[in-house]
Structure 1
Amino acid sequence: MRKLTLALFAATSLMTVSAHAASDTAPAAAAVRTPLAELGKDDPYIWMEEIEGQRALDWAKAQNDRTLPVLQGDARYAGLHDAALTIVNAKDRIPGVSFVAEDDLRNYWQDADHVRGVWRTTTLASYRTAQPAWSTILDLDALAKAEGKNWVWKGADCLAPESRYCLVSLSNGGKDAVVVREYDTQTKTFVAGGFELPEGKHRFDWIDKDTLIVATDWTPGEVTTSGYPYVVKLVKRGQPLSAAKEVYRGAKDDGGYGVSPYAVRDHDGVVRAVFVLRPLDTFNAETHLVTGETTVKLPFPLKSSIQALVKGQLVFSVEQDWAEQGLKTGDLAAFDLAALKADAAKAQGAFKATLILRPTARESVQGVNATRDRLVVALFENVKGAAYAYDFKGGAWTRGKLDLPANSSVSLGSASDKDDRIFVSVTGYLTPTTYWLADAATGKLDQVKAAPAKFDASTHVVEQFEATSKDGTKIPYFLVRPKNTKYDGSTPTLLYAYGGFQASMTPGYSPTMGKLWLERGGAYVVANIRGGGEFGPSWHEQGLKANRQRVYDDFFAVSEDLIARKITSPRRLGIMGGSNGGLLMGVALTQRPELYNAIVIQVPLFDMVRYSQIGAGSSWMGEYGDPQIPSDLAVIEKYSPYQNLKAGQKYPEVFIETSTKDDRVHPAHARKAAARLEALGYPVLYYENVDGGHAASANLAETARRVSLEYTYLTRKLMD
């Protein structure tokens, strides 16, 4: 069963991890608002906000033509690129799989022979072998060639329980906007006259074989101010989209990521309820129950997320206290779904929640999934993972711990609808990923796959420390350092962080980072700063809006702690972050440039005064605030990197990356950052990939190039 959550913000291999979170309250109308036209009206680079305007594209090409020879001309680039390409194309990577039937598995795979990728299937018995026998379902390289399209795979939603018919999402060059087409996995063809949606930022789900529930822009321009759909309709097979019947309508000024309709099924594939989530801002959302051709608003907190259905219990999490139900921020609880639906129909609201889990101050729920009869939860304590299986019996929940390797990250994979098996992956900074098949009912564990090592980890150790932030808060961080570290500040060190949207930075094995950085004597650090979800919703809330500076103070505290311990020094310390983490990099550049000698700024937010007008920016006002509200703007102007760039500072030469096809965090942020730095007289390296979307990784060749450019830059700045 799919995990049902609020929409995600951003995700990329080395950039960001997406997650949902909570803000303080639902948005309130401001008494005085600054007209949008007044925000940044004197900006000389507004023309860069035309995402594929010829002037902007010509400028980007000129930047690429200047930057690529510098980095690719470095004698070390070729070796780094070859190593990166070998790693990303390796065929001995663990293929992540999802259950389809009792013992049938599916996987999407990319390598040198399948640059765009191939969707394929095998049996569990074959998957257990060293060389599974795969059968192709859809070859995206062949499809792109046959149709003359720049297709990038964005997933497939299949109709349970058979999963024969699937809605395949295809993106032009990696954009969030996709074309949706119905595919028959048995005949391995697109269904003639089947369901099809034109390019858009759709939200959809199956109701039955002949019915979809869809949120999309039914007429041109029928989207929110951030570019997401707000009207939900039922689409019948064989009908034109114009005949779809409306069941719910939000509002054009809704925040967040657009309305999301979804069906909750039992493990026999039977739809037990259909919901519509209506985001009011980035984190606050109404939950509506679909009843026939209308909806009923449920009294759920605005900060809550439906997670799973098991044994008739609708499992949900809350990101705010819910006094009426006796629930606290971060709790995992459940309602009897039948009682919830009955009470909702009568508008009584008498249903009562059963508490499943209340995390401690240093714990957080990082994943939830359901097998046929068990609920499985990934629970992290002090950013170290474990997994628990919960059973609902006699009106109460009991749990048992799965005996997985300790001091690692634990991620929940696909769960079976036929029994209580679930795939679980375990990984660490120096430990390659292992893939386990767990029986949530018995606790039995079977290691199915183990990824081979891709770099020599014997030279390094992992340690966890704490830094003290400006307000006294203890900020944990992981340090992966050479065993022979000389505590004289000479170790080249790369510090990574994100700090937003309740996204947790947990330990993970990165073959490219290990090969291109650790193996060459570097140290790697991940900071668990506020704004993330490492310690639940409250950790995130402490860095929201007016409290944003806390996030940056946390990051500087970790930087200073590394220097104070003499692990590294400003000469040898570099930082990297993407998306919201790219904003963090920009703040570090403008507020504390003396701490760093290298800054990799990936697909960033940068102009926070105009961010709500650029791309999908207005969907994130629950995180950063509304620039049209003077009190919010006063906070934003203090840290917005674009407005705080100044002449005469000792800025390091930065490396800024973005993608023309990024329709989430608009490339104008990166473009304007580079242009203003150059205008102020600073050297800057800039690379804009024409494909790739927000993850900047439309195919593996592009991924290898991006990573090798980054580590060439870091080598020049920190190792030379």
Structure 2
Amino acid sequence: MNKRLWALAALGWSVMINTGAEAQTLKYPAAPRGEVVDDYFGTRVADPYRWLEDVDSPQTRAWVAAENALSLPYLAALPEREALRQRLGALWNYERYDLPQRKAGKLFYGRNDGLQNQSVLYVDGGDGKPRVLLDPNTLSADGTVALTQYEPSPDAAYLAYATAAAGSDWNEFRVRRVADGVDTDDRLTRIKFSGIAWTRDGKGFFYSRYPLPPAGSTPGTFDELAHQKLYYHRLGTAQAEDLLVAENPAEPQWGWGAEVSDDGRYLIVYVSRGSGNENALWVKDLGTAEAPSLAAPFVKLVDDFEAEYTVLGNRGSTLYVRTSRDAARGRIVAIELGKPAAAEWKTVVPESVDTLQSALMAGDGLVALYMHDATSRLLRYGVDGKAQGEIALPGLGSVPDLPLGGIQLSGQAGDPLLFYAYTSFNQPATNYVYDLSKNSGRVFQPIRLNFDPADYVTEQVFYKSRDGTRIPLFISYKKGLKRNGRNPTLLFGYGGFEISKTPEFSVPNLVFMERGGVYALANLRGGGEYGKAWHEAGTLDRKQNVFDDFAAAAQYLIEQQWTAPAHLAIGGRSNGGLLVGATVNQHPELFAAAFPAVGVMDMLRYHKFTIGWAWAGDYGTAETEAGFRTLYAYSPYHNIRSGVRYPAVLVTTADHDDRVVPGHSFKYAAALQAAVAPDGVPGARPALIRIDVNAGHGAGKPIGKLIEEEADKLAFLLRFTR
């Protein structure tokens, strides 16, 4: 770093922090207050750090360098940091697998031998002798190019795959021959939020892409996203020759997803308009699988956005569809394409008291994944809806999404083998295979652990939120821990976008529990744990329910003597970062430390950046007076108050995060540092920001980077909760 940046790092306020061995002086980098003031429906709102939204400006880059020059040495000097880094590396060093996909007798799966930055993709031709098909670790010197998804062709001759650099959501698609592992000349760009759907003949696939930016501008990480379109790419042709399949110029924010039925007959198109699960459902008859044609018009089975629809498969012209229509917790219906009216749909599996999370056609029937109080259940049904029993899971855990492929269940109609994984707070994701024809299953890819899962305990309890709503809470800890009110505790939450937080394994959480920590996970409203109504109860003008649920979880842990405010920390990522920021503002006295990661912190302007507009279904926007009043009341950036003794805060973000742009965290950190200046807050605790470089929202982050970041966070957590 040059002298100018070191000098900048030395400017600003200082705060005395006792790290145990000696006092350190933190001098926050100077962050000039701008004069920007916006008028929202007669309310004038200052935005003094608007300049930090321009993440590539020289002024912002200098501030970022200065912040890291402050935070990184401080974190490195924390007493247990090096021991924590070594222990994280030791526990992360275990063989693990992504969920297999089976195509044409071949098995495709990701495997990491322990500390590889990225998992390696293998193919097993059926002889039990897997070979490397694609190693992302060879694509960059620092491990920051990740394999984000892949899809074998139906005959397993080709592999279409996507890579992303530095954690970006921007993907590049390529095609590799499975036989020799050599890439073809096919190369597709301008892709975000797209799947890969091969036609049955194996000669091409459907995908979605965004147009190039206007003439004269250069494509960049933070481009505005609009006018996505659905295309068909034929192998061996240039991207410019791809066939346009679907678009709607009048609706620039519509998104397009596609899949092809297993028999190759139908193209299924999902139309979305934001981050919600509700979608329209269109179907195109491709004719024969051997010679598919795009000539037929779309049949618009559903052309509104009132419910969720996912096609599980078909038998002839009958589609089996999972939907939330007239079933807030989900049901499975049969739709005859010759009689597409909703009145003609037949319920195959009715709504139950549990939430239908996903399902697929496998073997000669249906397999449904349900959520019961945020834990998983696997049930079997015939295509006539007749119950065929339950596939037992090992315990209080979940069937997770695994990174490569992003699927929870892997199987095909007519193939009796079903693959799924199981995980819990003390059990890394482990793949199972179940023979549906024999009603028997087994661990498919055993993993060797360097710890004993029996040393750890998970309890599920239920507590009441401020309005009396019953909320689930998982509490995990090492055997022998006493409820004495002094245990270091990390409470984690999310509460949004109908995303369910279920039991999952985490190496950093295990290291924390090894050292006497308690890890608690709250299933807040806004998630999907109890279906659509649960989600909607935490959205728009009901978003305060989520913060109340989180604060009530903290109060429960304190009342039940698990911990006390002096030992309690909270954490959350993305929408969960918003949760942490808002809760700290509303209840600073409850916590000793807080970890808002890649958070949405400026609720008045979030919709103006990259994909932010898509979150309006959950948040609303400040474009309406009602939306402004709601958002302004809890926006983390706008509700920081001078003179308040906040908990110790470690903000984390990344310079290439093009989902929740880093300007959110930059502005929040600058405002918080200004508010805790020691002349106004005697004994103020640190407010630091750690800004990862050459990284994004989190997906695909190399193991090496993860270990360094988690060592910093754990050292900070233990410093302020013991």
Kindly state the Cα deviation for residue 125 of structure 1 after the two structures are TM-superposed: 6.7
Kindly state the Cα deviation for residue 586 of structure 1 after the two structures are TM-superposed: 0.3
In 2, Cα distance between equivalents of 1:109 and 1:53? 40
Aligned partner of 1:122 in structure 2 is 124
In 1, Cα distance between equivalents of 2:300 and 2:648? 52
The answer on 1:84 being equivalent to 2:88 is yes
Kindly state the Cα deviation for residue 439 of structure 1 after the two structures are TM-superposed: 1.9
Aligned partner of 1:380 in structure 2 is 371
Aligned partner of 2:701 in structure 1 is 698
Higher relative contact order (CA 8 A, sep 6+): 1
Q: Mean Cα displacement is larger for which, 62-71 or 456-465?
A: 456-465
Aligned partner of 1:493 in structure 2 is 489
Aligned partner of 2:593 in structure 1 is 598
Amino acid at match of 2:351: R
CA contact (8 A) 1:388 1:399 kept: yes
Aligned partner of 1:26 in structure 2 is none
Aligned partner of 1:330 in structure 2 is 329
Task: Give 1:687's match in structure 2, choosing from 677, 685, 690.
Answer: 690
Amino-acid identity (%): 25
The answer on 1:285 being equivalent to 2:274 is no
- Summarize the alignment of residues 91-102 of structure 1 with structure 2, pairs less than 5 Å apart: 92-94=95-97, 96-102=99-105
Unpaired segments ≥5 residues, structure 1: 1-33, 127-132, 322-327
Task: Give 2:309's match in structure 1, choosing from 305, 312, 315.
Answer: 305
Measured on the aligned residues, the alpha-carbon RMSD in Å equals 2.9
Aligned partner of 2:457 in structure 1 is 461
Aligned partner of 2:654 in structure 1 is 659
What CA deviation, in whole Å up to 9, does each residue of 1:150-190 have, x standing for no partner? Answer: 52211212221x22222221112120011111221212111
The answer on 1:205 being equivalent to 2:197 is yes
Q: Mean Cα displacement is larger for which, 198-207 or 695-704?
A: 198-207
- Summarize the alignment of residues 191-340 of structure 1 with structure 2, pairs less than 5 Å apart: 191-192=184-185, 194=186, 196-198=188-190, 202=194, 204-207=196-199, 208-220=201-213, 227-251=225-249, 254-255=252-253, 258-266=254-262, 269-279=263-273, 282-290=276-284, 292-293=294-295, 294-299=297-302, 302=305, 303-312=307-316, 313-321=318-326, 328-336=327-335, 339-340=336-337
What CA deviation, in whole Å up to 9, does each residue of 1:52-95 have, x standing for no partner? Answer: 333322211211111111111223111111121233343x3345
Aligned partner of 2:504 in structure 1 is 508
What CA deviation, in whole Å up to 9, does each residue of 1:649-702 have, x standing for no partner? Answer: 110120000111211111111111111111223531211111332116521101
Aligned partner of 2:181 in structure 1 is 188
Aligned partner of 1:399 in structure 2 is 388
In 2, Cα distance between equivalents of 1:239 and 1:472? 60
In 2, Cα distance between equivalents of 1:459 and 1:150? 35
> TM-score normalised to the size of structure 1?
0.84
Q: Mean Cα displacement is larger for which, 675-684 or 659-668?
A: 675-684
Counting matched residue pairs gives 653
> TM-score normalised to the size of structure 2?
0.84
Amino acid at match of 1:105: L
Q: Mean Cα displacement is larger for which, 39-48 or 549-558?
A: 39-48
Kindly state the Cα deviation for residue 452 of structure 1 after the two structures are TM-superposed: 3.5
Task: Give 1:539's match in structure 2, choosing from 530, 534, 538.
Answer: 534
Kindly state the Cα deviation for residue 583 of structure 1 after the two structures are TM-superposed: 0.5
SS in structure 2 opposite 1:694?
coil
CA contact (8 A) 2:196 2:259 kept: no
What CA deviation, in whole Å up to 9, does each residue of 1:593-634 have, x standing for no partner? Answer: 111001011111111011111232111000111220111111
CA contact (8 A) 1:433 1:450 kept: no
| Aligned CA distance change for structure 1 residues 641 and 218 (closer, same or farther; 3 Å) | closer
Unpaired segments ≥5 residues, structure 2: 1-37, 286-293, 401-407, 678-685
CA contact (8 A) 1:39 1:610 kept: no
| Aligned CA distance change for structure 1 residues 200 and 299 (closer, same or farther; 3 Å) | closer
Aligned partner of 1:446 in structure 2 is 442
Task: Give 2:158's match in structure 1, choosing from 160, 165, 173.
Answer: 165
Kindly state the Cα deviation for residue 400 of structure 1 after the two structures are TM-superposed: 1.4
In 2, Cα distance between equivalents of 1:704 and 1:112? 12
Q: Mean Cα displacement is larger for which, 671-680 or 214-223?
A: 214-223
What CA deviation, in whole Å up to 9, does each residue of 1:468-510 have, x standing for no partner? Answer: 1111111110111344444331111111111111111112222
Q: Mean Cα displacement is larger for which, 438-447 or 586-595?
A: 438-447
CA contact (8 A) 2:496 2:575 kept: yes
Aligned partner of 1:415 in structure 2 is 411
Task: Give 1:710's match in structure 2, choosing from 705, 708, 713.
Answer: 713
CA contact (8 A) 2:409 2:419 kept: yes
SS in structure 2 opposite 1:553?
helix
In 1, Cα distance between equivalents of 2:214 and 2:367? 41
What CA deviation, in whole Å up to 9, does each residue of 1:194-234 have, x standing for no partner? Answer: 35335655555333534433332234259999614432333
In 1, Cα distance between equivalents of 2:640 and 2:632? 12
In 1, Cα distance between equivalents of 2:698 and 2:431? 24
SS in structure 1 opposite 2:399?
strand
Aligned partner of 1:152 in structure 2 is 146
Amino acid at match of 2:228: Y
Q: Mean Cα displacement is larger for which, 523-532 or 683-692?
A: 683-692
